[in-house]
Amino acid sequence: MQIVEDLMSRNVKTLDRNDRLTLAEDLMQASRIRHLPVVNDRGRLVGILSQRDLFHSALVRALGFGTNAKDKMLSGIPVKNVMHDQVVTTTPDTPVADAARLMMEHKVGCLPVLRGEELVGILTEGDFVAAAANAAPGQSEAAPVPGAQDIP
C-alpha cells in the first residue's frame, strides 16, 4: 500500500506571512506551482495561498485586470491578508487513498504534509499524475513508485 511519503514532494517552497503577494506570484510562476504553504518564524505551518487566491480575489475584480493595476495591488498586500488559515493537512504515513479522499472531500488541490508540527512535504494533484506515469519528479530518494496498473 502506498503512503503519502511515497508520492509527496519534499522540497517545499514556502512563504512568510509578511511577504508581499508579488513574491508569491513570482514563486508560483517560476516553479509552475499553484499552492504555497505559509510558515511562521519557527517554520510552523500557519496558512496556505493558492493561485486562485491571487487571481480571483475580490480585489482583482474591483481593481480591474491590467498588468499595472494587478502589480500595484499585489505589491501592496501581505500574504497574511489573503491566505487561508484553516489548512487541511496529512501525515507522511497516511495511505494515499485516504489522502486522495481528503482532497476530494475538501475540494483542495494539495495537502501540506506534517510530521508532528514539522512541515516535511506537500502532496499535490500533479504528484498523483507522476505516480501514475511512473515518473517521480517530486521526490528523489524515496522508494520506486509502482505503475498505474498496480494501483489497487
Residues within the interface to other proteins (CB under 8 A): 32, 55-56, 63-70, 96-97, 100-101, 103-104, 107, 109, 125-126, 128-135, 137, 147-152
28 is written with which cell numbers? Answer: 508560483
Rg over alpha carbons for the chain, rounded to the nearest Å, is 16
* Beta carbon nearer to other proteins, 100 or 119: 100
φ, ψ of residue 124 to 5 degrees: the values are: -120, 165
Comparing CB distances to other proteins, the nearer of 68 and 86 is 68
Q: How far is the CB of 126 from other proteins (least distance, A)?
A: 6
CA distance 33 to 50: 9
Residue 20 has φ and ψ, to the nearest 5°, of -85, 160
The least distance separating other proteins from the CB of residue 97, rounded to whole angstroms, comes to 6
Q: How far apart are CB 101 and other proteins at their closest, in Å? A: 4
As a whole number of angstroms, the distance between CA 140 and CA 152 comes to 23
